[in-house]
Each structure stands twice: as structure tokens, then as C-alpha cells.
Chain A
Amino acid sequence: MSTDVKIPQQLPVTQHATPQGVKLPIYMDNHATTPMDPRVLEEMLPYFMEKFGNAASRNHSFGWAGEEGVETARERIAKLIGATTKEIIFTSGATESDNLAIKGVAEMYREKGNHIITAVTEHKAVLDTCKRLEKYGYRVTYMPVQKDGLIDLEELKRAMDDKTILVTIMAANNEIGVVQPIAEIGKLCHERGIIFHTDATQAIGKIPIDVNKQNIDLMSISAHKMYGPKGVGALYVRRKNPRVQISAIIDGGGHERGMRSGTLNVAGIVGLGKACAIASEEMSREAVELASLRDRLRDRIMNRLDETYINGSMEHRLPGNLNISFAYVEGESLLMGINDIAVSSGSACTSATLEPSYVLKALGTGDDLAHSSIRFGIGRFNTAAEVDYVADRVIETVERLRELSPLYEMAKEGINLADVKWAGEAH
């Protein structure tokens, strides 16, 4: 059997070129997902047809070929994060990893305590898992964050008590890209015998992560945020200093040391491994390039438009992330104006609740500015020409919408919008 599949070298979306040579639409939403790196796909392809074996088949070469792919991937992931291969458990993605880590610790250490600490800016995969545990009698502290998005370590210390079994704080935020002081948090946990889990979905492959240097006990990893395939991820589970144990939430054939049953997604795992191998090689160079593109985007926009505000710390931030609020302009209408560019907005105008981003609200950003926010996620395949195009389109659209905005007009007339009695405030 041979695989005679052509690897597509460009995006499958129909694109057209601008006079500047930029292909539209531009994808700049790399926190939602990333396109696959062609090198990842190439590595995966044999595992769909030729090497289709079940990695758990121990007694024939088909199984061995699958197992070899899986074990190579395990080594590559372990190398990227400074772990050992036995500490890597494959899952379907970071949401499952978060569930497994939090529920797994909660059940395993129930006799030791019932208190869990997390932060209000966590991903829903963590927050909703914690909320479910509250129904089962666990006590959860949802830590606030400071104005820059970082948690206060003193406050974290105060939240810890003798019943605390787990602290779960993300490495980098999916909306504002803010990077938490993971090593310090881990140290505080270890001093008190508390297990530390971090959702590193956005951080892995973007910034250096070392589970030993950063005192991490459990860590969620996703492939599709780092140029790998969707539907596959991993959970790092520390084996010594201290040895961490978790209860399984999926029972079955006892795969992955009994922590996660289910036939392994071999091709996906191979893809995750390759994505990690590429990151190990290229991350330090790529981070510099992404930060430079990000700063270029920020400067071009902010030099031209007044009353634009960056959400979250600029210092402790993922290199490819920019989250800006454009005062007096509603985010969804801005997205509509730049519809040849894929980015996200903190305005949840489409949701029934009309609630803007809870992450931005947690920073103390007013609801009006939260509605006005755009998240740019610059990734491996973005270019300087694309950044310039995006900046110019944003500037042009914000200027147009401000001319249309009664708030902008009122502000220009010198009216303080905070003093206005709004008719719709009861909403």
C-alpha cells in the first residue's frame, strides 16, 4: 500500500490577491486554532494507510509500527517540556486534559482535602469543570486578577489553606495572551504540598516551558494551537518530586497507564509529536519574529488612532498576541468591516446574554470597552505585508465607524459618557 496523497501547500479557502500581493482572506486568529504545518501533515500521512495498526497490538508488526510512531511523539513532547516519556498521557485535546487533571486530582485526593484554587480568567474548560466539582461538595476559590491580567501571588498565598489539594492557573491566556508567573505559583504550591496544574494550551511551543524549572505537576497540551491537528492533546503528569496520581475519568482498556483508556489516535499523536519537534527547533527564533510583527501591528494602529487601549500586560505576554479596545466602536461591527481578515472580538453581541468577554471584565475593563475589543493572533504563517494590510484596514474601518458613532460625537462635544443617564441601562 502506498500513500499517493498530494500535500496541499496553501490554505484550502479560496483566496484572492490584493495589489500589495497579500492573499485574502488573511487568517490572524491563531489563538482559536492554527493552520497545520505542512511538515506535520507529511509526518502524519503514513499513519492513516500504511501504518494503520493499533498501537496497543503487541504481537504483530502493524501494532509495532503504530507504537513506534506514538513513542517517538512521546519523546518529542517530553523533550519540549523537560519531562520524561512516562509522564505524557495522550488525550483528545486540552479540554479533556483539563477535565482529567482537575477531576482526576479531586477524586484521588478527596481524603486529603476538598479545596481547589483557580482564577476568573481561566478557560471554560477549567472554570466549568471546577463549577461541576462544587456541586459534588468541593470548595473552589476563583481568584481575581490585577488590571494587567496577572494574579497576585500574595493573594494566592492567602487563598491556600490546609484543605487545598489543587491550584489550577493557566500558563498563558487565550484572549489577552497574558503569561502568568508559573514558576512562582508552582513553588508556592510545592512548599505547601499542593498539586499544581496549568493549562498551557496557548503557551506550549510559543514560550519556553520546563516542568521542573517551573514546578509544574500537571499540564494540559493541545496540538491544534501549535500547527498540529485537531482532536489530539496530552496531559503531563509528574512521576516524582512529588509523584502525582490521578483517577481516570474514562475507563476501559487501561491505555496510557490506566489514566486514559481508548485506542490511541496514532496519526494525531504523530502530528502532535512533530509539531513539538518543530517548536523545539524553531521556537526561540519564531518568538522574536512574532513579537516583532505584533509590535509592528500595534504601532501602526496606535500611531494613527487615538483612544485605543491594549488589554493586558504588554510585558508578560505571548509574542503573537495583541488585544486592543477601540473606544466608541462596537467590536462586531468592526469585524464586519474587516471581513477579509479573520480575527476575534470580545463583544459577545451574538450571544443571547449580550455579555462581553468575562476575561476583559476581570481586568476591570468597562463593558463598553470590552464590547470594543479585537483579538489579533499572529502566527507562523503571517507576514509583514499582511500585518500592514490588517493595520490599514482596521484604521480605515474604525475611522468610518467612529464617524457613525453617537458616542464618538458626544465625546468630541466634551460630554463625559460616564455621566450620561442611559435609557437602556436597565438591560
Chain B
Amino acid sequence: MSYSDKVIDHYNNPRNVGSMDKSSADVGTGLVGAPECGDVMKLQIKVNRETNVIEEAKFKTFGCGSAIASSSLATEWVKGKTVDEALAIKNMDIVKELSLPPVKIHCSVLAEDAIRAAISDWKKKQESTQPVATAVAQ
């Protein structure tokens, strides 16, 4: 099969590859997929607590070229967005942007899942850190 130019570009020059400290309170980590399925994405976001803006995003992906491109694009898109804006990103936006063929739609679904998983991890951390902070203040 042939890949779109955008998929090839993301594959050759993936954006925001790397890892952030997953124990940091400001970092949300999403790990989705499974090795047996041939796709695993790890997407991390660093969120400003005051503004809820995603200031940094990193990814690592085990998967085909379309999976790599989908997650690379996802990190580009979430950067600079608020958490709520990032949650509005839909897999079909990724499909459109990368011209993914039908057999590769699952790659975009996984990328959307990764964004959601990272945000939900971050939110969980905020809930659990809040009471601790309150307790200290008292």
C-alpha cells in the first residue's frame, strides 16, 4: 500500500518524540494498545495548573507508519490547547489530516484514546493532589 505524503513526513520526522517524568504531578501519561495487536502508543502531556493549557507533549509508538504518524500529529495538535480543547479532538480529524485509508482508521482511534488516557491520568493526579494540598494548608 502507499502512504500519503503527510504520513511519510511524520514517519521520517516524527514530532515530539520522547518521554517525561511520569511521576510528576503536572504530567499525564496515556499508554494504549497492546503488543499482540501490533500497536502501542504512549502519549504524555505536561499541563499548566493555572491555565489548564498543555504546554508540552511527547510520544513513543510501537506500530505501523500510520500509527506513528497519528500519534506524532496528536502531540502537535494538543500542544497549546487547553485540556478541554484537546478532548474535542476526534479520530476522524486525524484520518482526514493524514488521508488514512479505511484499514488504518484504528490507528487514529488509538491516538484519540491516547489523548484521552493522558488527560484522564492528569486529572486523576489533580484530584489526588488537591486534598493533600488542602490538608497541608490547614
Contact surface of A with B, Cβ cutoff 8 Å: 328-330, 332-333, 336-337, 347, 349-352, 354, 356, 366-368, 371, 403-409, 417, 422-425, 427
* Complex CA–CA separation, A347 to B3 (angstroms): 17
Enumerate chain A residues within 8 angstroms of B3, measured Cβ to Cβ.
Answer: 336
B92 contacts the other chain (CB 8 A): no
- State in angstroms the CA–CA spacing of A408 and B61 once bound together: 10
Do B65 and A406 touch (CB < 8 A)? no
| Bound-complex Cα distance A395 to B42 (A) | 24
Which listed segment binds A: B32-40, B81-89, B122-130?
B32-40
In the bound assembly, the distance between CA atoms of A423 and B36 in angstroms comes to 11
Would you mind naming 12 contact pairs between A and B with Cβ atoms under 8 Å apart?
Answer: A333-B65, A336-B64, A347-B38, A349-B38, A349-B63, A371-B35, A371-B38, A405-B40, A409-B19, A409-B42, A423-B31, A427-B37
Closest chain A residue to B19, Cβ basis:
A409
Residues on the A chain within 8 Å of B35, using CB: 366-368, 371, 407, 417, 422
**B62 with A329: CB separation less than 8 A:** yes
The answer to whether B39 and A350 touch across the interface, beta carbons within 8 angstroms, is no
Contacts A328-B62, A366-B35, A423-B33 given; 4 further ones with Cβ under 8 A? Answer: A337-B11, A405-B60, A422-B33, A423-B31
B10 to nearest A CB, angstroms? 11
| C-alpha spacing A283/B68, complex, angstroms | 43
| B54 in contact (CB, < 8 A) | no
Give CA–CA (A424, B63) in the complex, Å.
13
Which residues of the other chain, B, contact A329 by a CB distance below 8 angstroms? Answer: 62
B14 contacts the other chain (Cβ, under 8 Å)?
yes
A330-B64, A332-B64, A423-B32 known; A407 vs B37 contact (CB < 8 Å): no
Residues of A within 8 A of B1 (CB): 350
List the interface of chain B (C-beta within 8 A of A): 1, 3, 8, 11, 14, 17, 19, 31-42, 60-65, 67-68, 103, 106, 110, 113, 117
Docked CA distance A405–B41 (Å): 8
A403 proximity list for chain B (CB < 8 A): 17
CA distance A332 to B39 in the complex (A): 11
Report the bound CA distance from A11 to B73 in whole Å: 38
- Residue ID in chain B nearest A327 by CB atoms: B35
A6 to chain B, nearest CB (A): 31
Q: How far is the CB of B52 from chain A (nearest CB, A)?
A: 24
Pairs A-B, 8 closest by C-beta atoms: A422-B34, A368-B35, A367-B36, A406-B42, A332-B64, A406-B60, A371-B38, A424-B34
A423, B38: Cβ atoms closer than 8 Å = no
Bound-state Cα–Cα, A332 to B11, Å: 12
Find chain A residues with CB under 8 A from B110 CB: 424
Within the complex, which residue of B36, B64, B65, B103 is in contact with A352, where a contact is CB–CB below 8 Å? B103
Contact A354 to B37, CB < 8 A, known contacts A333-B11, A423-B117: yes
CA distance A406 to B42 in the complex (A): 6
